[in-house]
Structures are given as structure tokens and as C-alpha cells.
Amino acid sequence: MPQYTAPLDNIRFILNDVLNAGQLSELPAFSEFSGDLAEQILEEGGKICEEVLFPLNQSGDQEGCKLSGGTDNFNHVKTPSGFIEAYQTFREGGWCGIACDPEYGGMGMPQVLNTAMKELICSSNMSFGMYPGLSYGAYEALHRFGTDELKKTYLPKIVDGTWSGTMCLTEPHCGTDLGLIKTKAVPNKDGSYAITGTKIFISAGEHDLTENIVHLVLAKLPDAPEGVKGISLFIVPKFIPKDDGTPGVRNAVNCGSIEHKMGIKASSTCVMNFDDAQGWLVGEAHKGLRAMFAMMNDARLGVAMQGLGIAEVARQNGLQYAKERLQMRSITGTKEPDKPADPIIVHPDVRRMLLISKSFTEGARGLAYWIGMELDIAHHHPDPVKRQESEDLVALMTPILKAYFTDMGTEIANLTVQIYGGHGYIAEHGVEQYVRDGRIAQIYEGANGIQALDLVGRKMGQSYGRLLRRFFHPVQQFIETHQANENMQQFIFALAKAFAKLQQSTAMIAQKGLKNPDEAGAASSDYLRQFALVAMAFMWCRIILVAQQKLKADEGDKSFYESKIKTAKFFMERVLPEADAKFKMVLAGGDTLMGMSEDEF
């Protein structure tokens, strides 16, 4: 049976020591935030994930969701056993609204704390996390772009978890290319709209966890211009709210079917049919993509946390198995003579896989929480210059985190199966589920190749490289500040070398891409990976610096900080060199990809 323990010590270390998240209390929006409060929230969050959500992960995967017809002529979805009760516990604990506006019943906590909770939820039960995760995306779009009336009607219910939300973008004939959508919205005399069309791959589109489901739907008005400039966003509830705020008449939106998937089987992935369903415009007409991006950007960072969450729970199980599984003797001689064989953790290749997992999860956690803090600054800092700087950094790092974290989530889940050997391939042991669950994260919310194109095609050149400077300048400053520190030199040197090559790659793509966009496209995935590895090296250097300071001051658990330094050394010497290979691939140019005719494939 798989296991999971919330990694609270590592989370505290990143939040308190590396990032000093307590400084957020200086922002007016978080004046009541404190380290003690964060500790209480994390402790309780860890408990609900370990004790309520995780025990349902394997059984939920085995049972899945069930579709059935109802006497009301609408189809209904039943979630796996225990999910309704777990959701009720989750909702009553206020976890749906941890980072939501107190005006609508939320806790008003910083986004960085919500980021930590997302990791815990994704590790314990990725399928379950889809339901409140989609609701938070709907909350973000409505909170930013909804009218006061829409916010008053829907936000309190979404925040307290009584109602849930969805994102309805994809259609059978179009996924990433939203300009091709056919769903139409025809104005009604009462100011609402009649929405007609079919949406597919709609996570949490229909289920039995909440009394109402609020769909945010992309559609086109009759006078809409072609392409993405003609997209509008509408709110379409499953039940139309009555004047007293309770669910009223059933709307003309129905779940046509649920998908039978490779993973996240306890998450209902639906085909949703809208047949003149009543909806209301969110934001301006023909400007729906702007509002939808509020959901998509949050969702992409949320998906990044799914990658980290899967990697963490897989890592924990791989480590436990490696300590317990007895196979052969160490190649340097018997390590445990009182046992018939040594545990497999003595073998170098098993250690290699475990250290890849450890160096990713611990470094990525720092990177993710850093961007979570920058989100808080972007939304709440009183200085508009500071807000813009943080917004730029978040925009730059979003495709990098989404793609790299989810790639690594799948890689580490696969490494865990490898550590288990044949037992890992068997469903009984539970780790093959992490491969299946994590695989979707590389695809939805923009496939990782799209994230790479976003990075080189939009983010890299935006405002003459302004977004890039938000990352490049702090890294350069860190190198210059600490390069004379003898204890840091080997790490700083590795970072500086990789960073210099990232700058060269950036210049090459910018130069060639202007002449031929295929050159930028051909380099994009390798460039994103190179960028991610440099970002991880930067975060590891920040972690090492704090660990060394703690050891010098003789504070805390000595072995904890020494382990950080050893893990960082592994990353710098055995993981970061991949960035050099990616640099060479970027420099290779696009001809090897684009020079072959279709017939030659």
C-alpha cells in the first residue's frame, strides 16, 4: 500500500527561512498574517490531506466516476465512495476559500500559503483536488471581471464550497486554437444570453459534491469578429439562482458523457452540451479571452503544483521501498549482515534515482513558493512599480513551471516504478497510479510544447525583454554578491556558467527568430528546459546559502541542513549539466526539424 506524509519540515524551511514569507504581513491585505497562523493552517492542511484525502486516492482510482440517467431527463455523475463525505469535511474546514477575498467569505490568506496547500492536496489525491481547483479558477475570473451583481450572487457560494465551478473552453474540433470555437451566444430580451454548443474535456463538469455547478463558458456573439478577438465569456449555472440565492430551475446544460481515461479517474471529465442554456456575460463582449486567461494562468500554476505533488508522493514511496526491499549485497561488501540481503538503497543506481527525485522536489518547492509570493506582491503591493515587476516575473515563469514541473512529475513517477521493479508495475502497490495520474498534467491547460512556444513567442520578446530582466537581473546580482564567499564558490560557479549559456541561447533565439519564426519554435522546448534548470540552480543556491548560515549559527537540525547541501551538490554536478546539452540543442538551429518534407517522415 502507498503512503504519504505531508513534508511540513521542508515546507516550513522554504517559507520561513529561504523566502521569509512572514514579510507579506507588511502588505495591507495581509496585516493579520503571521508565522503562527501559517503554521496552524499548514498543520491542519497536512492532517486533512493525510487522513481524509489520501486514503481515498487508490480506491477512487479503482472505482472511478459513474454516469447515469435521471428521472429529470438529465444525466448525473456519481463520484467514488467517500468523496461526498471528504468534500464536506474539506468544505466545512474553509479550504475552498483559503486565498479568497474575506468580503465573500474567504480566509484572505496569501497565495504562497495556497500554493503550499495545492502541493499537499495534489500529493494526497490529485483527482479530488480537481474539484476545488477548478472552482478557484472560476472564482478568480469572476472576482476580477464579474459585475457586482454576479459577484454577489456567485462568489460567496463558490468560496464556501457550496457551489463549484468549471472552465468550458475546449470543443471537439479545437483545443489550443480557441479562435475556432463554434459555441454561440444569442442575446435574450432580459439581458441574458442563450448559449448553444458542445464542450469536451470539462473537468468537474458534472458531479454530486455540490448543490450547484457554475460553468464559465467561451462562446461567440452573432456579431463577433473572426478568431480570438471574437470570443466572449459567459457564466452558465447548472441551476439558475433564485432571488434568495438558492438553486432554482434547472438550466439547459447536460453532461453527454464522461471520458474513460488513463488516470485521474475519480475526477469527472465530461462532455457538456449547452442547448439554449441561459447565461450572463462576464466582462466585455469580445474580450472573453482576457478574463479566461485569469483562469488559465492560475490553472497553469495549479497544474505545475500537480507535477510537484505527484513527484513528492512518488519520491516518498520510492524511498520507503528502497529502505525496506532486500535484494543482493552491496557491490562494496555486505552492509547488513544480520539480514539475508541488503536493502536496495545501498545500490548506486537506486540512489541516483532517489537523488534525482529529492533534488527536484526540494528545489522545485522553493521555486514554486517564490512565484507564489510574487503573485501576492503583484496583486497587493501598494507600489504599482513593485506590482508590475512581480506580475512580469510570474508571467515569465508560469510556462516554465507548468512544463518543467509536469515533465518531472511524470519522470519521477516512472523512476519510482523502476525502483519498485516488477512490484511497481502492479496496481496493488499503488505507484503505477502516479504515472497515470501525472501524465495528463503535461497535456492539459496548454500542452507543454505550447508552454515552450508561449515562452519564446510571447514572453521572451515582450516589452523588449522586460520580463526576462525580472529573472536575469536578480540572478546576476546574486552571483555578484556571493561569488567571493568561499563556501559558495563551487555552487556559484556552476550557476554562473549555466546562466551565461542561457543568455547566449536567449540572444540566439531572439536573433534567428526575428528572421524565421520556425527557428524560435524549433528551439523552444530545449530552451524552456534550459531555463528551468538554471532557475532551479538559482533556487538551490539560495537554499544552500541559508543552510550554511544555519550550520554556522548552530541552529536547528544539523543533519537537515547538511542534507540540503549534499542534495544541492548532486543537482549541480549530475542534473544541471543537462542545461549544457540543451544549450547545444538550441544552437543546432531549426533545419534538422524543419528541413524534412512530410513524405520523408
List pLDDT tens digits, range 141-175.
999 999 999 999 999 999 999 999 999 999 998 87
Does the structure show a pLDDT above 90 at 180? no
Q: What is the pLDDT of residue 158?
A: 98
What is the count of structural domains for the chain? 2
pLDDT tens-digit readout, 212-267: 999 999 999 999 998 888 999 999 999 999 999 999 999 999 999 999 999 999 99
Cβ pair 70, 80 in contact under 8 A: no
Contact call for residues 400 and 48 (beta carbons, < 8 A)? no
- 108 domain residue, yes or no: no
Residue 445 scores a pLDDT above 80 = yes
pLDDT score for 291: 81
Residue 554 domain flag: yes
Task: Average the pLDDT over 500-506 and give the result.
Answer: 98
Interval 272-280 mean pLDDT: 98
Q: What is the DSSP string of 376-399?
A: HHHHH-S-HHHHHHHHHHHHHHHH
Q: What is the pLDDT of residues 298-307, one digit of tens each?
A: 789 999 999 9
Dist. CA 312–CA 437, nearest whole Å: 13
The answer to whether the beta carbons of residues 520 and 470 sit under 8 Å apart is no
* Per annotation, catalytic residue among 119, 362, 391, 445: 445
For the chain, the distance separating the N- and C-terminal CA atoms, rounded to the nearest angstrom, is 45
Quick one: pLDDT at residue 29? 95
Residue 61 pLDDT: 98
Q: Residues 136, 204: contact at Cβ < 8 Å?
A: no
pLDDT attached to residue 284: 94
DSSP string, 29-70: GGTT--HHHHHHHHHHHHHHIIIIIGGGHHHHHHH--EEEE-
Domain holding 223: CATH number?
Answer: 2.40.110.20
Residue 453 banded pLDDT, cuts 50, 70, 90: very high
Q: Is residue 270 part of a domain?
A: yes
Question: Does the pLDDT value for residue 339 go beyond 90?
Answer: yes
Q: Tell whether 168 is covered by a domain.
A: yes
Question: Which of 286, 314, 337 is where one domain is finished?
Answer: 286
Asked if residue 508 belongs to a domain, the reply is yes
* pLDDT band at 597; cut points 50, 70, 90: very high
| 376 in any annotated domain | no
Question: What average pLDDT is seen over the chain?
Answer: 96
Cβ(374)–Cβ(22) below 8 Å: no
pLDDT per residue over 14-73, tens digit each? 999 999 999 999 999 999 999 899 999 999 999 999 999 999 999 999 999 999 998 889
Calculate mean pLDDT across residues 339-352: 98
A 10 A CB-CB count for 38 gives 23
pLDDT at residue number 573: 98
Res. 448 pLDDT band, cuts 50 70 90: very high
Residue whose entry in the numeric block shows the C-alpha cell 504581513:
25
Owning domain of residue 489: 458-594
Please tell me whether the overall predicted TM-score, pTM, comes out greater than 0.95 for this model.
yes
User: Which of 228, 261, 286 is a domain's end point?
Assistant: 286
In a domain? residue 267: yes
> Of the candidates 286, 315, 333, which is a domain's last residue?
286
Residue 119 is a catalytic residue: no
Set of cell numbers at residue 222: 452573432
Residue 178 lies in a domain: yes
Which grid cell sits at 280? Answer: 450572463
